[in-house]
Amino acid sequence: MTSNPPKTDDLGAWTERVLATDLAEIRAAERDVLTRLRELAYDDDHLFAVRLAFEEALVNAMKHGNQLDPSRSVRIAYRISPERVEIRVADEGTGFNPGVVPDPTSDENLEKPCGRGIMLMRCYMDKVEFSPQGNEVFMVKNRQP
């Protein structure tokens, strides 16, 4: 990844993959993560939350970051312990400033069909941090609230 390369610690090793910029790649990536969550007996609420945030991060990376350019890649890394899920998603785009994304829940934006991904990631994960450039996101979901 571009910032803070994944390292092994008490949470275990990172699993890293490079995805083509192809929305069809998303299901397999999600399946791998959800399979691990089920093995560790995470409940349905955690499965739904992690799947939603991961999907939104991957779609953002492919559509907005890489502009659906098939010559660009998306790098993902995740590590899952019985206590916590950590996920990184990085694209090869120019990045963005997440601080200037309009609030999709405001009355004037409710009818806009786009712009809910980052808000959903923040609502469903316990931590969502973007790299300074904005082309990498790090997310954490704790088993306990």
Binding footprint of other proteins on the chain (CB under 8 A): 23-24, 26-27, 44-45, 48, 51-52, 55-56, 59, 104-105, 110-117, 119-120, 123-124
| Dihedral sign for Cα atoms in the order 112, 118, 120, 123 | negative
- Nearer CB in complex with other proteins: 72/122: 122
Closest approach of Cβ 5 to other proteins, in Å? 28
- Nearer CB in complex with other proteins: 13/68: 68
Closest approach of Cβ 109 to other proteins, in Å? 9
Closest approach of Cβ 67 to other proteins, in Å? 16
Beta 73-80 vs 15-20: how paired, if at all? antiparallel
Residue 33 contacts residue 53 (beta carbons within 8 Å) = no
Residue 128's DSSP bridge partners are: 139
Closest approach of Cβ 107 to other proteins, in Å? 8
- Nearer CB in complex with other proteins: 7/113: 113
Number of Cβ within a 10 Å radius of residue 106: 9
Strand order in the sheet with 84-90: 15-20, 73-80, 84-90, 136-142, 127-130
- Nearer CB in complex with other proteins: 6/104: 104
